[in-house]
């Protein structure tokens, strides 16, 4: 009870105020010691703090220092050292862990600390210290022990936060919620700028180099509502395409850029992503240009749930039947590539890893977090059915393999979570989409965007009419999904606002759905 009271008090104050690392370049040298004598002209903690990748006994703490011109001469030679502190109480009286960290310009002055030896299913409060500068206090929590009986997993599902399209009203609401974690499933930044109907503007050019991606992330991270959501809860993250460039697939982009040139850009984007997120592992230095980075992972939430985060970009086959001038996703009518059974959204290795995990799982809920919509959105036209090739519709055999695994292995209580499409969706999942003669084998919830614009109602109305498995689909509002897993049911609440452009905008409940254990398929609540 005390922890719950502390948590709520922390959220109120937030509202009121608006494994060691795998890569040597980010490892803390043994010789590094914090300098407590340093005096800063400008606080370096302007991008906030964050935590993530929670395990039952550890968590990752993150910050990135912004070193201004007045302070740079003292930081470039030997880097910057400091201290982290982890407390068992919000008043910061019971110190349980502390240690030193070191960073430098090569790492973008980012800091990643893996804090070991923590108690399971417990809240902690943390901060960073560097000389006379002290960061804001963040709150985090560990996962339950893998074999613990757990009464709930309460998370916020979020994606697609184009900085120019709106304010982060949804993140303000997320910060105020009583949550176990935030699950962000892609498009944390957008590389592309859109001049029409902007609420605010990107600084600098479209990013292609590491300094440019760093500048882009710094602008996004400067948002106070995003900082509040990071400080309030641990995050688990997955990327989609805009963290690199729109509609990229594996080692190819839509502009048919030379693979070597594109991989250099992907390496810069992946490195910047790691530098700005509370992740345990960074880019693989053994891969070409350092352009590889494993994000897919599995988290046990006691005996209640297994959560898989799936990478739908790095390993996928290139989109089927691409335009010879401009690649990426497009709408096609006739496309022989769609009938190739070997085509994969996840890549063979990730597919096998997932299927083995699903078959072996003994936990109540099996939760698949991936970046986009799994259900079909194909439309019947006079010339045949249309297919959008960047979505799961463009990889029909890969989708069928996944749903076949669930059905044939009798994997029960599977819920898939996604983003990308800028609309709230509750859908039925069958081995053959929209075939009422086939049983429902899993349930799907997709969140609308934090701020990115949605499709027209005219197009969405046609999609709904052609796809009866879409029980709910709305693209006119922005927000996130609040999802509560309990032993007997999963409840999803779509929290939205029509126009996230005002500082006083508030979220409301657009719709609520329930999945009962043992009965796949959402039901309106």
Q: How far is CA 379 from CA 331, 337, 518, in A?
A: 10, 18, 31
Are 327 and 253 within 8 A, CB to CB?
A: yes
Q: How confident is the model at residue 505 (pLDDT cuts 50, 70, 90)?
A: confident
Mean pLDDT score of the chain: 92
- Whether 131 and 215 map to the same domain: the answer is no
- Whether 168 and 125 map to the same domain: the answer is no
- Whether 424 and 517 map to the same domain: the answer is yes
19 against 299, higher pLDDT: 299
What pLDDT was estimated at residue 6?
55
Average pLDDT of span 331-336: 94
Q: Is the pLDDT of residue 23 over 50?
A: no
Are 185 and 418 within 8 A, CB to CB?
A: yes
Tokens at 80, concatenated? 């910057």
- Whether 9 and 119 map to the same domain: the answer is yes
Read off the pLDDT of residues 296-315 as tens digits, 9 standing for 90 and up: 999 999 999 999 999 999 99
Q: Of 121, 141, 161, which marks where a domain is finished?
A: 141
For residue 148, is it within any domain?
no
Q: Which domain covers residue 82, as residue numbers?
A: 2-141
- The CATH number of whichever domain residue 183 belongs to comes to 3.60.21.70
Q: How confident is the model at residue 504 (pLDDT cuts 50, 70, 90)?
A: confident
Q: Is the pLDDT of residue 64 over 80?
A: yes
- Whether 206 and 347 map to the same domain: the answer is yes
- Whether 167 and 229 map to the same domain: the answer is yes
For residue 77, is it within any domain?
yes
Read off the pLDDT of residues 174-205 as tens digits, 9 standing for 90 and up: 999 999 999 999 999 999 998 888 999 999 99
Are 110 and 275 within 8 A, CB to CB?
A: yes
Q: What is the DSSP letter of 386?
A: E
Distance between alpha carbon 139 and the CA centroid of its chain, in Å?
A: 19
For residue 146, is it within any domain?
no
Q: Is the pLDDT of residue 206 over 80?
A: yes
Q: How confident is the model at residue 9 (pLDDT cuts 50, 70, 90)?
A: low
For residue 297, is it within any domain?
yes
DSSP secondary structure, 251-320, as one string: TB-TT---HHHHHHHHHHHHHHHHHTS--S----TTSGGG------EEEEETTTEEEEE--SSSSPPPPS
For residue 436, is it within any domain?
yes
- Whether 21 and 165 map to the same domain: the answer is no
Lowest-confidence region among 248-252, 287-291, 406-410: 287-291
- Whether 96 and 164 map to the same domain: the answer is no
What pLDDT was estimated at residue 501?
79
What pLDDT was estimated at residue 463?
97
- The CATH number of whichever domain residue 12 belongs to comes to 2.60.40.380
What pLDDT was estimated at residue 20?
36
Q: Of 108, 141, 174, which marks where a domain is finished?
A: 141
- Whether 206 and 131 map to the same domain: the answer is no
């Amino acid at each position: 009870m005390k922890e719950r009271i502390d948590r709520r008090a922390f959220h109120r104050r937030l509202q009121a105020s608006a494994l060691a690392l795998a890569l040597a370049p980010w490892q803390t040298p043994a010789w590094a010691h914090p300098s407590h004598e340093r005096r800063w002209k400008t606080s370096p903690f302007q991008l906030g703090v964050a935590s993530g990748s929670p395990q039952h006994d550890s968590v990752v703490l993150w910050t990135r220092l912004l070193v201004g011109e007045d302070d740079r001469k003292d930081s470039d030679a030997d880097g910057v050292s400091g201290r982290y502190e982890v407390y068992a109480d919000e008043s910061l009286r019971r110190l349980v862990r502390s240690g030193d960290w070191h960073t430098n310009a090569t790492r973008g002055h980012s800091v990643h600390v893996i804090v070991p030896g923590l108690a399971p299913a417990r809240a902690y409060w943390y901060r960073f210290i560097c000389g006379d500068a002290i960061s804001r206090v963040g709150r985090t929590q560990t996962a339950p022990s893998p074999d613990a009986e757990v009464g709930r997993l309460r998370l916020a599902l979020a994606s697609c936060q184009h900085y120019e399209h709106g304010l982060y009203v949804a993140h303000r609401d997320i910060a105020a919620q009583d949550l176990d974690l935030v699950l962000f499933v892609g498009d944390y930044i957008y590389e592309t700028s859109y001049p029409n109907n902007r609420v605010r503007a990107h600084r600098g050019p479209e990013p292609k180099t590491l300094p440019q991606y760093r500048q882009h992330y710094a602008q996004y991270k400067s948002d106070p509502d995003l900082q509040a959501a990071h400080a309030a809860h641990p995050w688990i993250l997955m990327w989609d395409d805009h963290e690199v460039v729109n509609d990229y697939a594996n080692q190819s982009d839509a502009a048919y850029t030379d693979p070597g040139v594109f991989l250099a850009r992907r390496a810069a984007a992946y490195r910047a992503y790691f530098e700005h997120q509370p992740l345990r592992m960074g880019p693989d230095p053994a891969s070409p240009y350092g352009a590889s980075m494993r994000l897919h992972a599995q988290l046990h939430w006691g005996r209640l749930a297994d959560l898989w985060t799936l990478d739908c970009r790095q390993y996928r086959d290139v989109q089927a039947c691409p335009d010879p001038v401009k690649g990426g996703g497009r709408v096609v009518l006739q496309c022989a590539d769609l009938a190739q059974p070997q085509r994969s959204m996840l890549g063979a290795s990730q597919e096998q890893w997932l299927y083995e995990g699903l078959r072996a799982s003994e936990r109540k809920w099996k939760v698949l977090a991936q970046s986009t919509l799994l259900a079909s959105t194909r439309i019947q036209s006079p010339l045949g059915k249309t297919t959008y090739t960047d979505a799961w519709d463009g990889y029909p055999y890969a989708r069928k393999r996944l749903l076949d695994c669930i059905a044939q292995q009798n994997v029960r209580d599977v819920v898939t979570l996604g983003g990308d499409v800028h609309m709230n969706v509750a859908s039925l999942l069958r081995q053959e989409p929209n075939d009422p003669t086939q049983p429902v084998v899993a349930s799907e919830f997709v969140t609308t965007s934090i701020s990115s614009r949605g499709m027209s109602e005219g197009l969405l109305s046609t999609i709904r009419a052609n796809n009866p498995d879409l029980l709910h689909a709305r693209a006119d509002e922005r927000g996130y999904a609040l999802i509560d897993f309990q032993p007997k049911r999963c409840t999803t609440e779509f929290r939205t606002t029509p126009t996230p452009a005002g500082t006083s905008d508030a979220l409301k409940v657009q719709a609520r759905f329930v999945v009962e254990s043992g009965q796949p398929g959402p039901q309106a609540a």
